[in-house]
Amino acid sequence: MGMGGMIDFLFLASGIYLIYTAIMAKKRGTIAANVMLSKNANEKDIADKVGYIEYMYKKILLAGVMICIASVIHLANDYYIHSQPLTWVGIALIFAALAMYTAAFSRGQKKYMPRQKRQGKQEKQK
């Protein structure tokens, strides 16, 4: 397996992890700090935990599914199909998933975390 195949497997694993994280958040109310919170935040900073999970659930789930699909496309393309346009489709899916996740994450932080707590943590870092 070449380097491209390893990267595709890493993307597949990360997509599966995003799906798992979304399902666990919805099912058990657990928030994966490395996916749903910035590094300086914790669950106590969320004003409405249930609302935040509801907001992020579909977006994280969709991003994970898109990344998994892109990874499978790349793996099939690398080993069987060998189509340059298909490579770009996979890359576009990954970029779209990352853009969607990043926008949702940013909006979710602003909407569900009180501004004064976010500002206080930023000031402590300076």
Q: Is residue 21 within 8 Å of 32, Cβ to Cβ?
A: yes
Strand residues in the chain grouped as ranges (E)? none
DSSP letter (8 states) at residue 37: S
What span, in angstroms and rounded, lies between the C-alpha atoms of 27 and 31? Answer: 11
pLDDT of 19-65, one tens digit each? 999 999 999 999 988 899 888 888 888 999 999 999 999 999 999 99
Determine the Cα–Cα distance for residues 107 and 15; give it in Å rounded to an integer. 21
Q: What is the pTM of this model?
A: 0.84
Tens digits of per-residue pLDDT, 75-109?
999 889 999 999 999 999 999 999 999 999 999 99
In sequence order, what DSSP letters do the residues of 41-70 get, joined into one string?
--GGG-S-HHHHHHHHHHHHHHHHHHHHHH
